[in-house]
Amino acid sequence: MYQNISYIPTLALANWFDQGHTTTTHTHTPVFRSFQKYSIRRLIKDVKKWTSRKHGTVGYRLTQWLTGHGSFGAYRRKIGKSETATCYHCDRGQDDTAEHTLFRCPARLAARDRVERKLRRIIHMDNIVDVMLEGEEQWKTISEWIEGIMKEKEEEEWRREGRRL
């Protein structure tokens, strides 16, 4: 088990789902209401495989993406930090979510294409974690891609807000 504690929220939520709980039966819990559309259970299908892996660490930005809590317009609007959930990078009027950022936003298409060429496969929301779990190289490729995008989104957010980088 890795000593990096940032995996704990991910693990706790995945274990919660493994125990048979669902967002539809426990909607009174605010933390889990936010997962009705974006479920970490959709990403981490096999918690034992996730926690027993021999490779890959889960850092701050990967945790943000896995949970959907980060520099995403939809999340920032939900917590009152933004007036709009709309993606700043495309003119489609789409909500800026973790899924949109990696898989729907045209501004991120080139980066995703590079990752898919390197891995020689199509990556999507329903297989991304499974691909990461296949091996160290897959984990590294995908986690570096997510890390880079999340860092870029964070810096863009800071610039919009006039904060120093």
Cα 165 from Cα 159, distance rounded (Å): 8
Give the model confidence (pLDDT) of 27-54 as tens digits.
Answer: 444 444 444 445 677 899 888 999 999 9
Give the pair of three-digit tokens for residue 118: 């390197």
Q: Please name the residues in contact with 30: beta carbons below 8 A apart, sequence gap of 6 or more.
A: none
pLDDT of 50-81, one tens digit each?
Answer: 999 999 999 999 999 999 998 999 999 999 99
Q: Quickly state the pLDDT bin for 129 (edges 50, 70, 90).
A: very high
Q: What is the C-alpha to C-alpha distance for residues 84 and 114, in angstroms, rounded to an integer?
A: 30
Interatomic CA distance for residues 13 and 26, integer angstroms: 13
Residue 23 CB contacts under 8 Å (≥ 6 apart), including other chains: 32, 33, 35, 36, 39
Query: How much is the pLDDT for 21?
Result: 46
